[in-house]
Amino acid sequence: MTTVYFQLVGVLSFLVATLVIGARIRRSPTEAAAHRLSRVSHGFYWGALVVPEVVGLFVPGLSRFDGLLGLTPLPEYVVRAAVGWVLLLVGASYVSASSLALKTKGSGYAAFKLTQRVVSASVYERVRNPMSLGWYLTLVGASLVAGSTYALLGTCLVYIPVHAFNLVYFEEVELRARYGASYEAYLRRVPFLLPRLRLGPTTD
């Protein structure tokens, strides 16, 4: 149960941090503030969301949460595990492709190094947040493979909504402050989280 509390506190901390830094970037939408607050957001992301999730893989283990909480595990269907593996692979491909694009096109790297320009090539042509989409798919896929009701519900009902709120309430405002008109144009052209099938003209 300690890990469950750890994860809950982490999610709540990340949500509160998002509300605070989102309000601050709105009061002072400058490039300097955007750089500073983005680092704060990334710190809370790794410390409050990623670390508790990783801990849960080992303590108590992804497949053991249901037993500890009295939940019924997901049904033992081959299709469930197969779908989980597909989502894991698709999610991993999105994460790796977006990481490469951020490095080669934006001179940045994931949540470690801020990009120097708007990236609109590769997977970023189809969706504005391919790394987040890939991570969401990976988490759902892992939950299905493990057969964990707790992990699946926690991912879909808590983790994804809270993180997506950060993207909308803070990150998009922060990117507007750093990139101005170029990001505004990208924002209007490319969908938030559901990839578009047909490509239009790009700036890269």
Kindly report, residue by residue over 170-179, the tens digit of the pLDDT. 999 999 999 9
List the CATH code of the domain at 2-189. 1.20.120
| Tokens matching residue 97 | 């492709």
CA-only gyration radius of the chain, Å: 18
Residue with token string 């909308």: 168
Q: What is the Cα–Cα distance from 56 to 178, expressed in whole angstroms?
A: 35
* Predicted pLDDT at 197: 81
Position 77 pLDDT exceeds 90: no
pLDDT tens per residue across span 2-14: 999 999 999 999 9
pTM of the entire structure?
0.92
24: enclosing H helix or E strand = helix 2-27
Indicate the residue type of 140. V
How far is residue 165's CA from residue 157's CA, in Å, rounded to a whole number? Answer: 12
Which pLDDT score, from 0 to 100, does residue 73 have? Answer: 95
Residue 23, both tokens:
């309000």
Q: Is 50 exceeded by the pLDDT of residue 204?
A: no
Q: What is the pLDDT of residues 191-203, one digit of tens each?
A: 999 998 877 554 4
Domain ranges in the chain are 2-189
User: 51-55, 93-97, 115-119, 153-157: lowest mean pLDDT where?
Assistant: 115-119
Residue-wise pLDDT tens digits, 110-165? 666 788 889 999 999 999 999 999 999 999 999 999 999 999 999 999 999 999 99
Buried b (16+ CB within 10 A) or exposed e, 163-175: bbebbebbbbbbb
The candidate with the shortest Cα–Cα distance to 161, out of 3, 9, 15, is 15
What is the mean predicted confidence (pLDDT) over 50-59?
93
pLDDT of residue 110: 66
- Return all residues near 61 (Cβ < 8 A) that are at least 6 apart: none
Other CB atoms within 10 A of residue 86 CB = 13
Write down the pLDDT at residue 124: 95
- Mean predicted lDDT score pLDDT of the chain: 92
pLDDT for the residue 200: 59
In percent, the amount of the chain with pLDDT more than 70 equals: 95
